[in-house]
Structure 1
Amino acid sequence: MSIDVPAANDAYGLILNAIDTGIYKPGNRLVESELADRFGVSRTPIREALQRLETQSMLSRDGRSLIVASLDHNQMAELYTVRTALEGLAAELAAQHAATEEVKVLYAMVEEDHAFLSNPARLSQANRRFHRQIHLASHNQFLVQQLDLVYRSMALLATTSLSAEGRGEVALAEHLAIVQAIEARDGKAASKALRDHLSIAFQTRLRIDAGAISAD
């Protein structure tokens, strides 16, 4: 889920947001004319945006066509390694620097997100919102910027671990444990809780992918 809504004439932001929110998924072909019609933007900025996204490895070539890129097994593992290290640090810093109001917002998010347990797509968006709030609560703008880049790449994963049966409810319990550690100002516990949370999410995603492969 994108935090900021792109301006109506921001072709790059509009396309990135569409990938980010799952309108365009890994493997989907992006056609310049269709994008221009969808977003009401002329083809020149669309073309420039596509070139920029290709340079950033968000798009890849399939013959003469541009498609939304996807991550292979090794790339996914590498992404989770970086994500876990950075998010663990964010949780540790949040425990040190989060304002009382920020902690209350995190608690409210955990409570509100139970309403999305039957909708994995909405829960995935809510999950991203929750994690981003932790990033912001670290009060370290350079860390937030790096995590924004990591989450951009997360959009290239075709599935969400929250689609696994029962995972949503367990994930929210893990979120609660992270917030409780942040509230207790226990940086090590907050970091460990978040790292454990991502480790389980990664294992779940691997099982989903293995199941998809065995079903072919």
Structure 2
Amino acid sequence: MTQTRPPQKDAYDMILEAIDIGIYKPGDRLVESELAERFGVSRTPIREALQRLETQRLLERDGRSLIVASLDHNQMAELYVVRRELEGLAARLAARHATQEEIDVLRDMVAADNKLVNDPSALSRANRRFHVQIHLASHNRYLVQQLDLVHRTMALMATTSLAAQGRGEIAQSEHQGIVDAIAARDEDRAAQALKDHISIAFMTRLKQDADTRERH
């Protein structure tokens, strides 16, 4: 019997994941040869991946070099406005279309993630999985695509709002409220709960940025 190998990630996915988990941070320079060596692929797919990331504005030019892009205050505000509306729509559609199995998975995620509130990095990864699960439960492929782009751009933020003191516990409570509304098939409550969740995360991030500026 022939064994099938799991599909390998391509260069684009590997670079994007490295940015997402903070191996490469805003302002870091990306060098083709170093990336090829790190990921064990040839320079051609690396070059193509870098071009794609530059087109998506996740990378930007610094002279002849490509660096991980950063978001200024206005860009971050614009991103959160779009994210709030799209995430709210995803929750609304999830309340309408999610299967019982999808709702059960969301409940299990919240329960498991409650154990991560003192580990901002792990909770941040779990938070992304939770939100993606809601996107998928919306059963709208075009909305999922747009939210995927938004979440890729979120990777350009050097810190997570979940690192703020006490934010992990509060965010988890908000997640529970979102899931309860979806389970109750209350579309308006689900949408508003998720939009409020994003607004609070944005305010938390603004406070983090203000504190950083004050220290410097």
TM-score tier by shorter-chain length is over 0.9
Q: Structure 1: where are the runs of 5+ without partners?
A: none
Cα RMSD after superposing both structures: 1.2
- Whichever residue aligns with residue 145 of structure 1, its letter is Q
Distance 1:131 1:116 in 2: 16
Change (3 A) 1:162 1:6: farther
Q: How far is 1:21 from its partner?
A: 2.1
Distance 2:109 2:17 in 1: 22
Distance 2:137 2:45 in 1: 35
What is residue 103 of structure 2 aligned with on the other side? 103
1:22 and 2:49 matched = no
Q: How far is 1:14 from its partner?
A: 1.4
TM-score computed with the length of structure 2 as normaliser? 0.95
Counterparts of residues 62-81 of structure 1 (less than 5 Å): 62-81=62-81
Change (3 A) 1:93 1:195: same
Q: How far is 1:91 from its partner?
A: 0.3
* 1:175-204 residue CA offsets vs partner (Å, 9 max, x unmatched): 000000001100000000001111100000
What is residue 90 of structure 2 aligned with on the other side? 90
Q: How far is 1:7 from its partner?
A: 2.0
Distance 2:101 2:48 in 1: 41
Q: How far is 1:18 from its partner?
A: 1.2
Distance 2:110 2:40 in 1: 37
- Whichever residue aligns with residue 60 of structure 2, its letter is S
Residue aligned with 2:61, SS: strand
Distance 2:26 2:79 in 1: 16
Comparing 185-194 with 23-32, greater Cα deviation is found at 23-32
Number of residue pairs matched by the alignment:
211
Residue aligned with 1:129, SS: helix
What is residue 157 of structure 1 aligned with on the other side? 157
- Whichever residue aligns with residue 7 of structure 1, its letter is Q
Distance 1:13 1:198 in 2: 26
| Aligned 8 A contact 1:6 1:17 in 2 | no
1:198 and 2:204 matched = no
Structure 1 runs of 4+ with >4 Å offset:
none
Distance 2:204 2:159 in 1: 11
What is residue 132 of structure 1 aligned with on the other side? 132
- Whichever residue aligns with residue 210 of structure 2, its letter is A
Q: Percent of counterpart pairs with the same letter? A: 69
Q: How far is 1:6 from its partner?
A: 7.2
Residue aligned with 1:41, SS: coil
Residue aligned with 1:37, SS: helix
Distance 1:83 1:99 in 2: 24
Residue aligned with 1:156, SS: coil
Distance 1:121 1:185 in 2: 32
What is residue 119 of structure 2 aligned with on the other side? 119
Q: How far is 1:32 from its partner?
A: 0.9
- Whichever residue aligns with residue 154 of structure 2, its letter is M
TM-score computed with the length of structure 1 as normaliser? 0.95
